């Protein structure tokens, strides 16, 4: 093992609002996600969905790009911290 310091991967805290309005759907919610990229954020959210709402994934990508995103000072594990979905 090396005694060199481990390089930290920059992580971000995403607050993703994703609602598909009624009558098209009642699918949506808010996700708080720690991820190192927009793509990883998308994958974490869609992995929990199991393809159920796949027709709205294009909208989700747009909403991730529009989300409030904050750089984190610590190297935390990528995860969905909290979600509120309908």
- Does a structural domain hold residue 40? yes
Number of domains the chain contains: 1
- Does a structural domain hold residue 6? no
Q: What is the pLDDT of residue 9?
A: 85
- Does a structural domain hold residue 17? yes
- Does a structural domain hold residue 76? yes
pLDDT band at 5 (very low <50, low <70, confident <90, very high): low
Q: Assign residue 23 a region: left if phi > 0, alpha if psi is -120 to 50, beta otherwise?
A: alpha
| Domain limits for position 35 | 12-85
| Selection from 41, 40, 36, 53 nearest residue 15 by Cα | 41
- Which pTM does this prediction carry? 0.81
d(CA 71, CA 41): 14
Residue range 4-28: average pLDDT?
76
Count of residues making up the chain: 86
């Amino acid at each position: 093992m090396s005694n060199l310091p481990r390089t930290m991967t920059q992580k971000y805290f995403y607050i993703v609002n994703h609602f598909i309005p009624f009558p098209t759907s009642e699918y949506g919610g808010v996700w708080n996600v720690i991820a190192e990229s927009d793509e990883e954020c998308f994958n974490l959210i869609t992995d929990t969905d199991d393809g159920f709402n796949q027709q709205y994934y294009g909208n989700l990508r747009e909403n991730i790009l529009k989300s409030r995103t904050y750089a984190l000072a610590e190297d935390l594990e990528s995860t969905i911290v909290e979600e509120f979905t309908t």
